[in-house]
Amino acid sequence: MLLSISFMATTSGLSMPGPVPVIEALSQPVTGDNASVDPIPVLAYYYIWFDAKSWDRAKTDYPLLGRYSSDDVDVMRQHIQWAQAAGIDGFIVSWKSTEKLNRRLDQLVELSEQENFKLAIIYQGLDFERDPLPLKQIDSDLIYFIDRYATHPVFDLFGKPMVIWSGSWKFSAQEIQKVAEPKRDRVLILATEKNVEGYQRLADLVDGNAYYWSSVNPATHPGYAEKLTAMGEAVHERGGVWIAPAAAGFDARLVGGTSIVERLDGETLRIEMDTALQSAPDAIGLISWNEFSENSHIEPSQTFGNRYLQVLTEVRNAPTPKVSDFDSSAPAGINLGTISRFTALFLLGVLIIISLLKIVIRANRMD
């Protein structure tokens, strides 16, 4: 159970716009000990770039935890606990090497280890103007990451830590190869291509693909499901890891976007989760935990409360169909098997013998 009231006390020092509503506990958190919960991990894109001032720019909704700083350890811990309770297995952390982000990543890694939570990295290969970062910087950032975390257990999702190269479509195959090739024995490097052709361009140079498709409207986009399935097949043909996207909604008009995808009270999230699953993903990339500028966040917020964690919990907790006597050989109960088995046979034998005797005696009398 999520105890939000006690948490409110610990965050009372944060800058908040007003009284914080109490978040209702998720009634049936998804637990790891439920063996029938499917083993396809759900990983939410997670941003650690927030300062108190970040909330003044291009936001229409705010976290229920207040206008937090990503430095706040209590906020991070609460995020992890909420995410776990809703069935999220880990975060895909947006990162590139800066002093601030490195500090926050360290903190997140430490907390994740404590909470038995998984992490992957989405490396921000493009700058604020959406231009590619210099290769040298990318190279040194990834070396920093590998040296620091390559063997850390929180990154152990697919055998090796997973690094998603955001904006891979802006780089040539030679550039990707130059940076990725020497590192692929330590980490999995995934492209973020937007279609099959894009992935095939890099297929031999990367370990898979994670498509960040936050703006798709499942109700109106023709061939949405087919596109994801085709991408999944293309990636798996090369033995790669396929991270399929699923979002709760989208509205980035304040940061230059034009399209809006309505949330429809969770229907969009449900459809996108279903569609992502149909593409046979190795993991679902949930867009997003806290991308408030694009309004794709599922983190409890002033506008939506914890509605989207509830929806996610329902989806993840959806009951597995039960089949009675599925495995009729499965043992159960106390092992008195042999004794009662011979008792049954013995009694049957006794019944037959006594009955036969009686029949014979009666027949003789008749004669």
Partner 1 sequence: MDLKTLFSVRERITQHPLSNTPAAGLWRNLDRAAIIRFARIAFVMCVAIGLRLWGLNQIGFNTDEAVYSGQAAAIAQVPILKDIFPVFRAHPLLFQFSLALLFNFGVSDLAARLLAVAIGVATVYVVYRLGSLLYGENTGILSALILAVMPYHVIVTRQVLLDGPMVLFSTLTLYFLARYSITEHPKWLYATGIGLGLTFLAKETGIILIGAVYGFFALSSEINVRIRDLALSFFLMVLMVLPFPLSLMLAGGSRVGQQYLVWQLFRRPNHTWDFYLSTVPVAIGLLVIILAAAGILLLRREGSWREKLLGWWIIVPVVFFQLWPTKGYQYLLPIAPALAILAGRTLIRWLSLEVKVFKRQSINTFWIRSILGGIMIVSLLVLSGQTIQPGISGTFIAGTGGVPGGREAGEWIKQNIPAESTILTIGPSMANILEFYGYRQTYGLSVSPNPLHRNPSYQPVNNPDLEIRTNNIQYIVWDSYSAERSSFFSERILELVKRFNGRVIHTQSVTVTLEDGTQVEKPVIIIYMVHP
Q: Taking the complex as a whole, how short is the minimal distance between the CB of residue 151 and partner 1, in angstroms?
A: 15
> How many whole angstroms separate alpha carbon 108 and alpha carbon 231?
31
> How many whole angstroms separate alpha carbon 264 and alpha carbon 273?
14
Minimum CB distance to partner 1 smaller for 67 or for 270: 270
Query: What string of H, E and C letters represents the secondary structure of 128-152?
Result: CCCCECCHHHHHHHHHHHHHHHCCC
Minimum CB distance to partner 1 smaller for 60 or for 343: 343
Residue 105 neighbours by CB under 8 Å, 6+ apart? 48, 93, 95
Q: Taking the complex as a whole, how short is the minimal distance between the CB of residue 226 and partner 1, in angstroms?
A: 15
Residues that bind partner 1 (CB under 8 A): 33, 35-36, 38-40, 158-159, 236, 239-242, 270, 273-274, 277-278, 280-282, 314-315, 318-338, 340-344, 347-348, 351-352, 354-356, 358-360, 362-363, 366
Residue among 157, 10, 153 nearest 78 (CA): 10
Residue 119 neighbours by CB under 8 Å, 6+ apart? 90, 91, 92, 93, 108, 109, 112, 154, 155
Minimum CB distance to partner 1 smaller for 106 or for 233: 233
Q: Taking the complex as a whole, how short is the minimal distance between the CB of residue 262 and partner 1, in angstroms?
A: 17
Tell me the DSSP string of 233-260. Answer: HHHHHTT-EEEEEEES-EE-GGGT---E
Minimum CB distance to partner 1 smaller for 93 or for 283: 283
Q: Taking the complex as a whole, how short is the minimal distance between the CB of residue 233 and partner 1, in angstroms?
A: 8
Q: Taking the complex as a whole, how short is the minimal distance between the CB of residue 125 and partner 1, in angstroms?
A: 24
Secondary structure element (H or E) that encloses residue 164, with its range: strand 162-166
CA atoms within 13 A on the CB side of 174: 0
Minimum CB distance to partner 1 smaller for 63 or for 240: 240
Minimum CB distance to partner 1 smaller for 125 or for 240: 240
Q: Taking the complex as a whole, how short is the minimal distance between the CB of residue 283 and partner 1, in angstroms?
A: 9
Minimum CB distance to partner 1 smaller for 73 or for 352: 352
DSSP strand pairing (250-251 vs 260-261): antiparallel
Size (the chain), residues = 367
Q: Taking the complex as a whole, how short is the minimal distance between the CB of residue 340 and partner 1, in angstroms?
A: 5
